[in-house]
Amino acid sequence: MLAYQPFLKLAGACALLAITGVSLASCGDRCRALPAAKTAGWEAGDEREPTGTSTDSRIKGAGEQSWALALDLLRITDPGEHPSIASSPASMTFGLGLAYARWPQACHGTILAAIHALESGDALHQTLGASIRELGSRAREQGPEGEDPIAIHLRPSTWTLGGDGGVEPAENPVHEIYGATPNQVARPDTDERRGAVREVINCTIEEQSQGLLVDFMPPEYPRSDTTSFDVNVAVLTGPWESAFEDYGAEDFFLDDGTVASQDMIGVTTAPALYYETERLVAVSVPLRERELSVMLVMPREGAFADLAAFTADVTLGELQAAREEALDTLVDLTMPRFTVDSTTIEYSKELGLMCDMYTLRDVLHGAAIEIDEHGIKAAAATVVESWDTSSPEGLYVLINRPFLFFAYDHETDFVLFSGRYAGPKG
């Protein structure tokens, strides 16, 4: 196996330590040393492993449902406002699972509908907790020939707003199933405290996301009546199974009919899953050890008016066939080197979440992704706010038009990251 150039940046150390079983105690030191930490009265609980238990088939069922959520997130974000965007269906699922644990009755099943849950109550929590543990097991240390590690970080946390410091963080016992780290901060009853609470939560998200998610929580959060945040930060970094090369700039054909110059990467005779129909072309490129892949799905030229029309029309069955009926072959692949920056979006109304007053209010989500010749680096955060008044050799694949992408786990079928790439910015 080839040795790869270093891919993980130093900022990834905290996420990597979480996966390799080393204590995370030192990773939050920078945030805890902030003056805002004292102003916020921040009390952090201990890191823990998720205790959820489930069967392989139930975990896979939950993973399969994350593809439906992936399509939902793509369809409800306006391509005019967000031409290229990334999200993490896994992060959204686990974050809303925590919210469901907090408000199982108040949201009248809309959380279950939003994540397309096949189970409810304790059965759902056990499956999601077990899924977090199973996905975390895909992490790999540096290989014997210098292959870059694979890091997966799926550690949720809860933030209770209302303590004055020196108090044990309040938590729902179900949160242990998810391995959620409990945190308590002061009640945000002054502008100074609100700013301090936001600063320590944003600092924690930035550290856990390897620096990809900066100032994730917008300035208006927390509000004076916010009582809690359920947070999940997801990170995936790792190298390709086969080393890519820099192919330089090539033409990229945009949906508006214009042509842009796009930096491309490529590889020859590399293992991949290839699938094509009259409607689409899909190629799944494996990461090291082939347990995780990034699937690029490009509509056939002329089959749809644009990527938005394709996104609205593509079916879960087609995406499933692209995974399960694909040809396991060798390809010569040319694809864009691209970055999608994080945009924090409030999704509760778009997801149809209807909850009782003074329970779940907002669902903030955003993700960033970088794909280059070395591999993938992606991070996402989900923050749920509660409130109260109290082929054959040589097969050639060219991705040179707008496409959808899905980073997924083969065993569980969970979509860790998904999104669309519309082309280079003008």
**% of the chain with per-residue pLDDT over 90:** 81
123, 105 in Cβ contact below 8 A? no
What pLDDT is attached to residue 76? 96
pLDDT digits (tens, 9 = 90+) for 89-113: 999 999 999 999 998 889 989 999 9
Q: Each residue of 254-277: pLDDT tens digit?
A: 999 999 999 999 999 999 999 999
CA-CA distance, 381 to 331, in Å (whole number)? 34
Kindly list the structural domains of the chain, giving each domain's residue range(s) and its CATH number in brackets, ordered by start.
Answer: 10-238+341-387 (3.30.497.10), 240-337+392-421 (2.30.39.10)
pLDDT in tens, 289-304: 999 999 999 999 999 9
Q: What is the gyration radius of the CA atoms in the chain, in angstroms?
A: 21
pLDDT recorded at residue 388? 76
Q: Cα–Cα distance between 109 and 14 in angstroms, integer? A: 35
The average pLDDT across 305-318 equals 98
Give residue-wise pLDDT tens across range 363-411.
Answer: 999 999 999 999 999 999 999 999 875 544 558 999 999 999 999 999 9
Spatial distance between the Cα atoms of 227 and 158, rounded to a whole number of angstroms: 11
pLDDT, tens digit (0-9, with 9 covering 90-100), for 190-244: 999 999 999 999 999 999 998 999 999 999 999 999 999 999 999 999 999 999 9
Residue range 121-136, pLDDT digits in tens: 999 999 999 999 999 9
Look at residue 23 and tell me whether its pLDDT is greater than 70: no
CA quadruple 346, 347, 349, 353: dihedral positive or negative?
negative
Average pLDDT of the residues in 304-317: 98
Would you say residue 22 has pLDDT above 70?
Answer: no
Q: Is the pLDDT of residue 7 over 60?
A: no
- Asked if residue 320 has pLDDT above 80, the reply is yes
Q: In this predicted structure, what is the pLDDT of residue 394?
A: 57
**What pLDDT shows up at residue 10?**
24
Its pTM stands at 0.91
Is residue 169 within 8 Å of 183, Cβ to Cβ? yes
Q: What's the mean pLDDT in 72-76?
A: 98
Q: Which residues of 308-339 are buried (b: 16+ CB within 10 A; e: fewer)?
A: bebbeebeeeebeebbeebeebbbbbbbbbbb
Instruction: Reply yes or no on whether the pLDDT at 17 is more than 90.
Output: no
Residue 389, pLDDT score: 59
| CB atoms inside a 10 Å sphere around CB 263 | 16
- Give the pLDDT of residue 27: 53
> What sign has the CA pseudo-torsion 109, 115, 118, 122?
negative
- Give CA–CA dist 417/209, Å, rounded: 13
Contacts of 106 (CB under 8 A, 6+ apart): 355, 356, 359, 360
Angstrom distance (rounded) from CA 22 to CA 9: 18
